[in-house]
Structure 1
Amino acid sequence: MSTRPDEAALPAPIERPAGRRRKAPPVVRHEDKRLAILRIAAQLFAQNGYEATSLDMIADQIGMHKATLYHYIKNKEEVLYFCLVKSFENLDEVVEKVRDRSEPPLQRLRYFAQSLAHAQNSDFGRCLVVVGLRPLTTEASLDIRRFQRRLDTTVRDLITEGIAAGDIKPCVPALLSAMLFGMLNWVPQWYQEDGKYSIDEVVEAFMNMVIQGIAAKPQR
């Protein structure tokens, strides 16, 4: 085992030639700074509400002048729009995986619920659940509403498939989907990361109760 050399034995620091400057750290990319702005804005919107959060507050929180903020965004509504769009990040992959019939419907339903809960309890997801689409113009909210309908359709189709396969008791898919989303949408209102349960434990407990009620056959 080697021993640490004596301080005196260490080579002397290399002297830099006169006039040579230390290399500056890499400049933060425009998109990196923009993402940081969106994340701070999402946190403030969820904490204080959309109306009570100003661009000045966002600029102060991130440590830049308000004038500099306009290099990255146009106005507060645009900030909220992109925060809400970010809340669906990676859920496209979840939708595609849920459509894969190689796994039983109830197992895919658990996976969907867990994935949605993680998305909703991120900074951006919490912003969507707490603030919602109301501050946006009808045109600006169309993409988000369209994706929300896609998620609802995905769950309804999965339930319909489960009923046809004999895995889920006969029920109204639209009502069961509404119950599932309502249950998960409420979590960001009260969930604390430093609380007693992790988000996975919360979702597992919820889905155990749901599946116990809808499964056509006893679950192990």
Structure 2
Amino acid sequence: MPSLKSNPPGALAATDRPAAEAADAPAALSAPVKKRRRGRLTEARHEDKRTAILRTAAQLFAANGYEATSLDMIADALGMHKATLYHYVDSKESILYECLLKSFADLDTVMESMEDRAVPALARLRLFARSLASAQNSDFGRCLVLVGSRPLDMVPGGEVRKFQRRLDSTVRALVVEGIADGSIKPCNPGLVSAMLFGALNWVPRWFDSEGSLSLEQVVDAFLDMLVSGIAAPRTT
């Protein structure tokens, strides 16, 4: 029988080493993993608080106007000190800018879908109008409609204006396509776009979600009147 030699004090037998390393591995990895998790949770909580600040500000801007809403009012509505507010935002102007960016955050995907010619142009126009109305009647959308982008006209880049032009171009392109395929009679695409946006831009000023009509019903009624007109067919 081979002789058995005892291990030096504190040493691990070869057969014991893998098990010991496996036992130690989670402890060794737990610190950085936990640190990353804490970082993500902190970032998520920070973003949640930031979103809450922006949403509250958007509601106050829409209700009181941009000029009449102060950072003190926003902080009071959130139950926090104004100094705490500065941990999340830089200025009232930056708050408005981010509110306006959030107001059309989901419309990029909608505009991309408008290029799918497998769906008839008029059907896409209705989908676009529904999506736009939904965005406009959110807290951030109402802020954009009721406050407007005028307070940000001096901000470099003009992202809000650029996006508004993209929305207009999307509608015009759908009308041009419909004219080409015969589903829309010859008309001025710019005027159709102006009429559609003029109608939808007014909805956040009067629409009541608890009223007799849903937002989708309002939009569909507008589109029906735009597409078919309101004159009754003549009888002969």
TM exceeds 0.5?
yes
Query: Gaps (5+ residues) in structure 2?
Result: 1-40, 231-236
Aligned to 1:54: 70
2:46 to 22, 27, 30: 30
The question of 1:88 aligning with 2:104 is answered yes
Q: Is the 8 A contact 1:73 1:79 kept in 2?
A: yes
Structure ranking higher on relative contact order (CA contacts 8 Å, 6+ apart)? 1
Aligned length: 189
Tell me, in whole angstroms, the C-alpha distance in 1 between the residues paired with 2:157 and 2:53.
20
**SS of match in other structure, 1:135:** helix
- TM-score (normalised: structure 2): 0.77
Larger radius of gyration: 2
Residue type matched to 1:168 in 2?
Answer: I
Residue type matched to 1:30 in 2?
Answer: H
Q: Is the 8 A contact 1:120 1:188 kept in 2?
A: yes
2:61 to 36, 39, 45: 45
Question: Runs of 4 or more off by more than 3 Å in structure 1?
Answer: none
- TM-score (normalised: structure 1): 0.83
Map residues 24-173 of structure 1 onto 2, 5 A cutoff.
29-140=45-156, 142-173=158-189
- Shift of the alpha carbon at 1:198? 1.0
Tell me, in whole angstroms, the C-alpha distance in 2 between the residues paired with 1:167 and 1:116.
22
- Shift of the alpha carbon at 1:140? 4.6
Shift in CA distance, 199/140, structure 1 to aligned 2, threshold 3 Å: farther
Tell me, in whole angstroms, the C-alpha distance in 1 between the residues paired with 2:174 and 2:54.
33
The question of 1:196 aligning with 2:188 is answered no
Tell me, in whole angstroms, the C-alpha distance in 2 between the residues paired with 1:154 and 1:125.
18
- Shift of the alpha carbon at 1:141? 6.6
Structure number with higher helix proportion: 2
Residue type matched to 2:93 in 1?
Answer: E
Q: Is the 8 A contact 1:133 1:141 kept in 2?
A: no
- Shift of the alpha carbon at 1:176? 0.6
Shift in CA distance, 124/141, structure 1 to aligned 2, threshold 3 Å: farther
Identity fraction in percent: 65
Tell me, in whole angstroms, the C-alpha distance in 2 between the residues paired with 1:117 and 1:78.
25
Aligned to 1:184: 200
Q: Is the 8 A contact 1:38 1:79 kept in 2?
A: yes
